Amino acid sequence: MKEHSTRLALIGLLADGQFHSGEQLGVALGMSRAGIAKQIKIIQQWGLDLYSVQGKGYCLAAPIELLDSQRISELVSCPQLELIPVIDSTNQYLLDQVGQLPSGAVCLAEYQQAGRGRRGRQWQSPFGSNLYLSTYWRLEAGVAAAMGLSLVVGVAIAETLQQFGAPDIRVKWPNDLYCHDQKLAGILVEMTGKAGDAAHLVIGMGLNIAMPTVATNMIDQAWTNLSAACSPLPSRNVLAATLIDRIHQTLTEYEAVGLCGFVERWNKIDNFLNRPVKLLIGERVVEGIARGINEQGALLLETDDGITAYVGGEISLRGC
């Protein structure tokens, strides 16, 4: 963290979206102009869209609202909230502390150096553009009761974003949010625990808010930003606090009623409900019509042979 303090201070100065000369930045940070130029190159590698104009200095392509842990803590009651601006992975950070955390502990980041998605894929995590949030939850009912948890969290996030003025947000089985058939967010649930014991869950979310195209060269599917779905955009801090609160409420509700209490809510906002889809199961491709989910969280796929329930894992769903 200490090695990043100068870079974070530099980003703080540039966050207003105005031009700042290298000399001005150097004076503010006690560095030479050459030192500033070196730091600028590093923060550009973090995915910040930044201009350099001779005679004017440096400027972000757009202002950014940096996350503020104090502001978020004022808006939501949370047993433990940590904001670590630069981190490998918010999920991994919490997984490394399982057993030492209070249930409901949250970790937020501005930039993930090793963010990951489902099935070990890399999650693109440019600085300050999106929302990277993980929460730890102790599920007393055990590992078996955690089936379908990504669906429940997906419903909670989608409904929250709709209430912020993005009515076209939908869920995609088993762990994504979509808008106009483009990926907006992903959810990653990881767990530890022994049979007969409580399940220790870490639920991570990556939500695209205003991700610059320069940071997306490695993304292999259509994606979108909340900025394209919601106008005006909510404050990142208010959004973070609201999502934390809603996720905690939803997990408490899930413990009480299970997945059956969410099936109707899921089907109401299912992006592919009653649409032709294909399931990629290893080398096998199964095509049919998506008919929502059942009370076990399985995808219901209708083919000429009838309706079959498919459980998550190594299955990917694609539109036809």
Residues 6 or more apart from 237 whose CB is under 8 A from it? Answer: 65, 67, 68, 71, 72, 75
Return the CA Rg of the chain. Answer: 21
Topology annotation, domain 67-265: BirA Bifunctional Protein; domain 2 (3.30.930)
DSSP 195-221: TTS-EEEEEEEEEESS--GGG-TT--S
Is 100 marked as binding a ligand?
A: no
**Quick check: 78 pLDDT over 90?**
yes
Query: 91: annotated binding-site residue?
Result: yes
User: Strands 86-87 and 111-112, how do they pair?
Assistant: parallel
Residue 89 assigned as binding residue: yes
How many residues are present in the chain?
320
Least confident of 34-43, 138-147, 278-287: 138-147
Contact by Cβ (8 Å): 27, 36: no
Q: Helix, strand, or coil here: 249?
A: helix
Q: CA-CA distance, 81 to 75, in Å (whole number)? A: 12
Residue 7 annotated as catalytic:
no
Q: What pTM was estimated for this model as a whole? A: 0.91
Average pLDDT for the chain: 90
318 carries an active-site annotation: yes
Equal CATH topology for 2-58 and 67-265: no
Q: For strand 169-172 and strand 86-87, is the pairing parallel, antiparallel, or unpaired?
A: unpaired
Which of the residue ranges 115-119, 137-141, 147-151, 247-251 would you say has the lowest mean pLDDT? 115-119
pLDDT at 219: 59
Residue boundaries of the structural domains of the chain: 2-58, 67-265, 271-315
CB atoms within 10 A of CB 121: 13
φ, ψ at 262 (rounded to 5°): -120, -10
User: Does 90 appear as a known binding residue?
Assistant: yes
Instruction: Tell me the pLDDT band of 216, cut-offs 50, 70 and 90.
Output: low
Q: Supply the pLDDT for residue 129.
A: 85
Would the pLDDT of 3 be above 70? no
- Both tokens assigned to 303: 């083919």
- State the pLDDT confidence band at 217, using cuts at 50, 70 and 90: low
What three-state secondary structure class fits 186? strand
Bridge-based pairing state of the strands 81-83 and 106-109: parallel
CATH 2.30.30.100 fits 271-315, yes or no: yes
User: CB 49: neighbour CB atoms within 10 A?
Assistant: 20
Active site residue: 118, 170, 172, 246, which one? 118
User: CA-CA distance, 317 to 174, in Å (whole number)?
Assistant: 8
What percentage of the chain's residues is helix, strand, coil (to nearest 5)? 35, 30, 35
E strand or H helix that includes residue 192: strand 182-192
Q: Is 221 exposed, middle or buried (0-12, 13-18, 19+ CB in 10 A)?
A: exposed
Q: Which helix (H) or strand (E) holds 36?
A: helix 33-45
116 known member of a binding site: yes
User: Is 138 a catalytic site residue?
Assistant: no
User: 278 is written with which tokens?
Assistant: 């294909």
33, 71, 138, 183: the catalytic one is 183
Domain 2-58 fold is Arc Repressor Mutant, subunit A (1.10.10)
